[in-house]
Amino acid sequence: MDFLPFTRPSLDEETIAGVVEVLRSGWITSGPNVKRFEALLSERCGGRPVRALNSGTGALELALEIAGVGPGDEVITTPLTWVATANVIVRARATPVFVDIDPRTRLIDLDRVEAAITPRTKAIMPVDLAGFAVDRDRLYDIAKRHGLRVIEDAAQSIGTTWRGREIGSFGDLVCFSFHPNKNMTTTEGGALVLNDEAEALRCERLRLQGVERLPGGEMEVEVAGAKMNLTDVAARIGIGQLARLDEFNARRRALAQRYLARFDADLGCELPPGDTPDTNWHMFQPLLPLDRLAMTRAQFIDAMQAAGIGVGVHYPALHLFKLYRALGHREGEFPHAERVGAGIVTLPLFPAMADADVDRVCDTVRDILAPRLRPAHR
């Protein structure tokens, strides 16, 4: 039986042919396809300015700089996320201030955010883990009352909506990722949604060495920019992917609903919230009942791999990494994030999957876990 990875991008022949055209054109770095891709993203985001970048991490980095975050500042975020979320704060020489998650949604607990605000707080950086949207109404109410910028780590939530409004079409600074494991890809890449043309111009300069082009071939540099521009090759892939995003997300939703219907409830796994039709279902992530299992998560993953099924881990609680322990963090500090981070697994979910693939995964999970499941304590 073929190996089933936990994710796989869907690239159609028209997009592949379009990439060939770009390669043959001789203009393969940032050019007309980047501009077209940005225009299409802007249309999707309600006409807001959007600038394409070489990664979602780059979008976070430039968003921090545009928001004025620097040495001595604090940024509130979640410990249950890809480590880039916190790394960019550290690299800006600011301090990430972690807030534990809501154990049901696995998203930053907004009830705890206000208690974490200090005079040094400059911004809040929520994360839409697995494509589930943080409550934007409450988030922006908190930010407005305290005069804070919001940098949305929406790396996983393109196509997700909040109360009928698509993520990116409203809010402050919104960061998308187009890594190959995302709902749409540019191979590597990302985008930053901005508030106005002044911020967009600043983003353009920061993404390419701070260079300002002047008439007559002259140039000027006023800021020390980076090298974060997207290539036309990558943008052409993004153009093809964006055209199919709604189709991709609809298929993901259907597959997720099949998972929820077919998953064996007797296994005691905690499943993601099923009453969220507005999510793009970036990932399907049950939580293993480790306190009842006679096996570790690593052993479960190995067993699934041996059965021809790929499983990911997204993510361990990042404050327990050595880098963040060295900054003073410790085990037991954020118990909900630590529990979820220790037991979470990412099962296969991508548009090209068949319904039978979901059934195969559910059956294999049952066959592996059921014989190793200790009775629940009464």
| Radius of gyration of the chain, Cα coordinates, nearest whole angstrom | 21
Exposure string for 246-283, b = 16+ CB within 10 A, e = fewer? eebbebbbebbebbeeebeeebbbbebeeeeebbbbbb
Catalytic residue among 35, 122, 182, 322: 182
Going by C-alpha positions, the residue among 83, 152, 146 that lies closest to residue 117 is 146
Whether 122 sits among the annotated catalytic residues: the reply is no
Whether residue 77 contacts residue 85, with contact meaning beta carbons closer than 8 Å, is answered with yes
Enumerate the active-site residues.
182
